[in-house]
Structure 1
Amino acid sequence: MITHNETDHIFEINYPEGKAYLEYTDDHGLVTVIHTIVPDALAGQGIAARLADAFYRWASENHYTIQSDCSYMTAWMKRHKIN
């Protein structure tokens, strides 16, 4: 289950193998993804995509402007024809 920690600006999923998370900054409605991290043991299972989707849905629903300094999120946005 994805948890959104708005105070720390993180979307996260905890697994026995470690925590997968997407970290962002919020500058008065401009949200910028800075990291998407998935433990090596969990790679290739679509976890980063789930985090990216949850972040995008939240940002869109709240009418935030989205930017990415994260290579994964940038590629995800291109695949989904966002921006």
Structure 2
Amino acid sequence: MIMNIEHDKEKKIFSVVVDGVTAHVSYKLIDGGLDIRHTIVPDEIGGRGIASALVKAAYDYALENGYKPVATCSYAVVWLQRHPEYNGITGKDFGGEGTCAV
């Protein structure tokens, strides 16, 4: 599936609209890192790889701009574990499984 992922730097959100429904990841820039705080994919468009594509877009942007990939959202933590080539870290605010919605 081809997705038109958009980045709103001011709001610090990567988003995509699929079948009229919006999914997004939000982040904070902290201590030289891009920390994904929330990954939101509504149920009606879930299971299509949307969360993964959004997280990848955010971390690709981070690396292109000299930021360290950081994950506070539990989905992003697992994503970084599956993609060690990003050399990401778990954020200090990570509260364990279920700390963000997917």
TM-score normalised by L of structure 2: 0.75
Identity of aligned residues (%): 36
How many angstroms apart in 1 are the aligned matches of 2:81 and 2:37?
16
SS at match of 1:12: strand
Distance 2:72 2:31 in 1: 17
SS of aligned partner of 1:56: helix
Structure 2 residue 68 is the aligned partner of structure 1 residue 65: yes
Aligned counterparts, 1:9-20, within 5 A: 9-20=12-23
Secondary structure of the residue that 1:11 maps to in structure 2? strand
How far apart, CA to CA, are the structure 1 residues paired with 2:14 and 2:71? Answer: 15
- Hey, what's the Cα distance between the residues in 1 that align with 2:20 and 2:39? 16
Q: CA deviation at 1:65?
A: 1.8
Please list the CA deviations of residues 18-71 of structure 1 after superposition, one character each: whole Å capped at 9, or x if unmatched: 210010011353221100110101111000010011011100010102211101
Equivalent of 1:52 in 55, 60, 76? 55
Q: Distance in 1 between matches of 2:9 and 2:59?
A: 14
Partner Cα distance (1:5, 1:39) in 2: 19
Q: Which amino acid aligns with 1:78?
A: Q
2-11 or 60-69, larger mean C-alpha shift: 60-69
- Give the TM-score taking structure 1 as reference length: 0.91
CA contact (8 A) 1:17 1:39 kept: no
Measure how far apart 1:17 and its partner are: 4.4
Q: Unpaired segments of 5 or more residues in structure 2?
A: 89-102
Q: Identify the structure with the greater strand proportion.
A: 1
Q: Is the 8 A contact 2:34 2:59 kept in 1?
A: no
